[in-house]
Structure 1
Amino acid sequence: MTSNTLRICILENGQTPDDLVGEFGSYPSMIERWIAPFLPEATFTYLSPVRGEALPDPDAFDGYILSGSKYSTYERAPWMLDLIAFLQALKARAIPVFGICFGHQIMADAYGGKTTKASNGWGVGAQHYEYTEGAGPTAAPAYIFHQDQVTTLPPGATCIGGSLHCLNGVISYDFPALSVQYHPEFTAAYIHALATKYRGSLLPETISQGALDSIESLEVDNRQISNWAASFFLEHAQR
């Protein structure tokens, strides 16, 4: 493979808050910054279903990454229904897709599982994730920001990782698809900004404070997830 020949499309399903986007960038730009150093073969294109942009022909790219979102998959907005149909087309063509947070959840929904609001409430901050031996990265903390969880696995899916708060936190499929509930593209600074911004409004005081404490006490290194995701695309993307 020559340089810059792997075409990756990042689908924007949510938007960075207006007052934070200047400092932190869009979610697609965060994702590119996270994975690009481990995938120098790739060029990245951003498309935004949440902004109403049309989804591409599935064969237009070698692989796809789905961003997170403030929305819930069970809202079934028209753009979400289009995305579900698109994900089913990717499965039929064996085109690799990697989902993050909302992306993790809507992939599960598209492939026959179910996402619901979590009975144990918000997960925000840094949490320790464990993986099935040999199936994924080594155990390590990860950044999280979610209120929904995958509660029913799809047929053909295997849970290969999770946390005490989110059991179905990492899912692999019997076709080229992987997804994670956590946010490997987030930084401690961005989690701090979100926990502070939404303290006492979207997030209860105790949740925000717990999040701020967790990012001080747990060291997150997202590079092993970058390497894992990059290897997934290199293995499955059509040359």
Structure 2
Amino acid sequence: MSRIAIVLCDDLGRRISSEFATYEALYADFLTLAAPGECEFSIFRARDGELPHNISEFDAVLVGGSRAGVYEPHEWIPPLLNMIRTAIQNKVTTLGICFGHQAIAAALGAEVAPSINGWNLATQTYECRGLGGSPDVEQLSLIAFHQDQVHTVPEGTSRYLTSAGCEIAGLVGENIFTMQPHPEFTPDVTSAILNASRGDRFSESEIDDAIARLESTLSATRASELFWLAIQAKGKNTSPVAVTSTTE
């Protein structure tokens, strides 16, 4: 049985959670899409000061998404970054999605900041390359919902995922695997989040355009398989998946 700590860094809001699912349910459902066996999930809420006391008890830790910026002065972010560094030092597979991707990069010294091109919303096409030592390019269709991006590749990792709107959309290294997009998001959940943002962060036309670009066919199962390749590599003196550098 794989023991996985899910570190929540936000919530979906009461209405969306009651209508669809909570963040923890979305992450658990995503990871079990390609789970090779039984999983035991432990939930921690970083914004409430909840973090694993003994990270070495887990096979992996997943750091989830957030509306916050990793560079913002929230009291809960420095302890989260320290936990990430501790997990990596203790060879616990450290996974990140969206904000989690950015937090892991920041914990390793990378620059994270808003994109000069603004928001990446709805379904995006990503190029996945360098995994398994293969030069072949694999296309992944996943949902994006972010403005902040990782702008430099941290030491000890390589970029394996990129898109037209996000150059560093995924990092891989020894005991590290991250994705900027939200492989756990479904079109229905994303549509609800977008609609809840009308008149707040986005204009009516921006929301309508993003919803129109949501696609029903996504690469969630393939993304789950990639996360499990990382989890299954725990304890080995190699990176989760063989990497061909794509940092140039």
Answer whether TM exceeds 0.5 for this pair.
yes
> What residue is the counterpart of 2:220 in the other structure?
222
Which deviates more from structure 2 when the two are superposed, residues 101-110 or residues 189-198? 189-198
The aligned counterpart of 2:146 is: 146
Say whether the 8 Å CA contact 2:51–2:80 is kept in structure 1. no
C-alpha distance after superposition, 1:117-163 (max 9, x if no partner): 11100111101111114459821211011110001221122111111
Pairwise CA distance, 1:56: 2.3
Quote how far apart the aligned CAs of 1:205 are: 3.0
CA 1:23/1:215 → structure 2, altered by over 3 Å: closer, same or farther? same
TM-score, structure 2 as length reference:
0.88
Matched to 2:228, the amino acid is: A
Correspondence for 2:93: 96
State, as a whole percentage, how many aligned pairs show the same letter: 25
Structure 2 partner of 1:129: 126
CA distance in 2, matches of 1:88, 1:133: 24
| Structure 1 stretches lacking a partner, 5+ long | none
Write the distance in 1 (CA, Å) between the matches of 2:152 and 2:130: 22
* Alignment correspondent of 1:19: 15
Structure 2 Cα separation of the partners of residues 11 and 205 of structure 1:
32
The alignment of Structure 1 onto Structure 2 pairs a total of residues equal to: 232
Determine if contact 1:49/1:55 at 8 Å carries over to the other structure. Answer: no
Q: 2:80 aligns with which of 73, 80, 83?
A: 83
Deviation for aligned residue 1:200: 2.9
Residue identity matched to 2:145 = F
CA distance in 2, matches of 1:102, 1:190: 18
Residue correspondence of structure 1 range 158-169 to structure 2 within 5 A: 158-169=158-169
- Answer whether contact 2:7 2:51 (CA < 8 A) is retained: no
**Secondary structure at the residue paired with 1:85?**
helix
Question: Per-residue deviation at 1:209?
Answer: 2.0
Alignment match, 1:187: 186
Residue 166 of structure 1 and its aligned partner are, at CA, apart by 0.6
The one-letter code of the counterpart of 1:229 is F
Equivalence for 1:32: 28
In the aligned structure 2, how far is the partner of 1:150 from the partner of 1:78? 21
**The structure with more helix, counted as a fraction of residues:** 1
2:230 corresponds to: 232
Q: State the Cα deviation string for residues 57-80 of structure 1 (Å, max 9, x = none).
A: 121211111110111100142211
| TM-score, normalization by structure 1 | 0.91
Q: Deviations over 1:28-48 (max 9, x none)?
A: 210001112422232111111
Task: Give, as a single letter, the amino acid of the residue that structure 2 aligns with 1:7.
Answer: R
Query: Do residues 111 (structure 1) and 108 (structure 2) align?
Result: yes
